[in-house]
Amino acid sequence: MTERRNYTAAEVLAVMSSRLLKDGQIVFAGVGLPLLAAILAQRTHAPTLTILFEGGTIGAFVEPGQLPPSTNEQRCCRRANMLLPSTDVLLLLQRGYVDIGFMGGAQIDKHGNLNSSFIGDAENPTARLPGTGGGNDIASLTNMIVAMKHEKRRFVEKVDFVTSPGFLDGGRSREKAGLDLGGLFRVVTDLAILGFDEKSRDMKVVALHPGVTAKEIQDNTGFELIIERNVETTPPPTEDELKVLRHLDPDRLYIA
């Protein structure tokens, strides 16, 4: 990244992710940075974006400085359109009402499979993670956006456990497993925006963030990326985007 940047890596993640969300869409957002990015989109270029939370909230409008620590927290409910049981919210996924699923993960592999369950061996893991929640449902039934820090230990050849399916073993393996809908649309990191080759379903670089080189992103990835010549560069976060973002999270819970 450029040395004179006036934003943090987390702010890059939030801004670049928010730009992928469009006005009028329905997004199933996970807690943390995905939630913040969805709210940022709602307050900037996508005022009619509808946010769903796993806890049952539909159409939330979260107050600045009152970011909920959980999707089951009461601060998710302010000015909401509806409050449903979590099972009914997941039923909306099955009925095809959700356009975008948006969450993070501890590990991701070259085919977009996510791990948020454990690190290491299943019988004796080195770390236990939050688990699936609705992550498997979301990844199985919607087009997914994933936001995460770009590190070699996170971008691995094969995840330790598939909590949320991407394109499984690549190619048409997702469809052959019966997952006809959705798939991983974009992975947003502090270094780049990534997508997937339409045939192999291997991860590829769609755009690099300002100041990031192809070598830098490959050095921070645990598998071979597809990097085409003349890759685009994303426009840096604008002052207006950063102003709104910092107003939403004045205590820097998610954008430190």
Nearest-angstrom CA–CA distance, 47 and 150: 29
Q: What is the pLDDT of residue 194?
A: 98
With cut-offs at 50, 70 and 90, classify the pLDDT of residue 220: very high
Beta strands in the chain (DSSP E): 26-29, 50-52, 57-58, 82-83, 100-103, 107-108, 114-115, 118-120, 125-128, 143-147, 183-188, 192-196, 203-208, 232-233
Q: What is the pLDDT of residue 77?
A: 79
Spot the catalytic one: 11, 54, 198, 241: 54
pTM of the complete model: 0.93
Please name each of the domains of the chain with its CATH number.
Answer: 9-248 (3.40.1080.10)
Percent of the chain with pLDDT over 90: 72
pLDDT (tens digit per residue) in 54-103: 888 898 888 898 888 777 777 777 778 888 888 898 899 899 999 999 99
pLDDT (tens digit per residue) in 232-247: 999 999 999 999 999 9
Q: What is the pLDDT of residue 1?
A: 40
Does residue 63 have an active-site annotation? no
Nearest-angstrom CA–CA distance, 148 and 14: 10
Q: What is the pLDDT of residue 60?
A: 82
Yes or no: say if 23 and 253 are a contact pair by the CB < 8 Å rule.
Answer: no
pLDDT (tens digit per residue) in 108-128: 999 999 999 999 998 899 999
Q: What is the mean pLDDT of residues 202-210?
A: 97
Q: What is the pLDDT of residue 24?
A: 97
pLDDT (tens digit per residue) in 143-194: 999 999 999 999 999 999 999 999 999 999 999 999 998 999 999 999 999 9
